[in-house]
Structure 1
Amino acid sequence: MKIALIMVLLAGVVGPATAADKAMTPQQQRMTSCNQQATSQTLKGDDRKLYMSNCLKNSRSAPGEKSLTPQQQKMKTCNAQAGRQTLTGDARKTFISNCLKKQTG
């Protein structure tokens, strides 16, 4: 019993040292980066799966670069449209609200 415990403890000490010695591949870096971003956004379930899928497919960006969620992309598009129309105040809020509803449905 004591021998098994000692082996487990040694594996815990030796294991991380050898893992740290290996350089991560670009795909592993991307996976780590996407996972950290999804965690920082507190995404769960299907939202997290979709985010991870989109993040990992976004091969044009550097591994540390943040990709937008679908909702963030909608907001960006609607905000840009409102900016082109130089909308402000309540008119801008109403436009963005209607724009997001159109894109959702």
Structure 2
Amino acid sequence: MKRILMVLSLCATVMGMGMGVAQSATMASDGSGAQQACEAQAAAKKLAGAAKTSFVGKCVKDASASAKASQCEKAAADKKLAGAAKNSFVQKCLKTDGAADKASQCEQAAADKKLAGAARNSFIQKCVKTT
């Protein structure tokens, strides 16, 4: 909930800077638009060096988390869930999306290394735990 409020306040700030930047921040699905919007915000705040890098990284991460959260919220609304059922569904949705991403990345890494059988399974299990 804190993330959603933070993202909403961030969006309000962006809207204050101009509708063009706000559109690129909210319409970005591949991350490059969010990256550009976050860099524009950093420039507006006159950040440089490590402070800029840290700000942009956190901003992009929050934008991607917000996008995932809104997808899960929409799915819960489509299923007409409310209250505790909705909260539980959204939490599970957010966790499984992250877990699926980790597992698919680890499976791709195993395929790149041309692992098979027990070695592949062991690699994937270890990768998912550490990633």
Q: TM-score, normalised by structure 1?
A: 0.42
Bigger fraction of residues in helix = 2
Tell which has more relative contact order, 1 or 2 (C-alpha 8 A, sep 6+). Answer: 1
Which of structures 1 and 2 has the bigger CA Rg?
A: 1
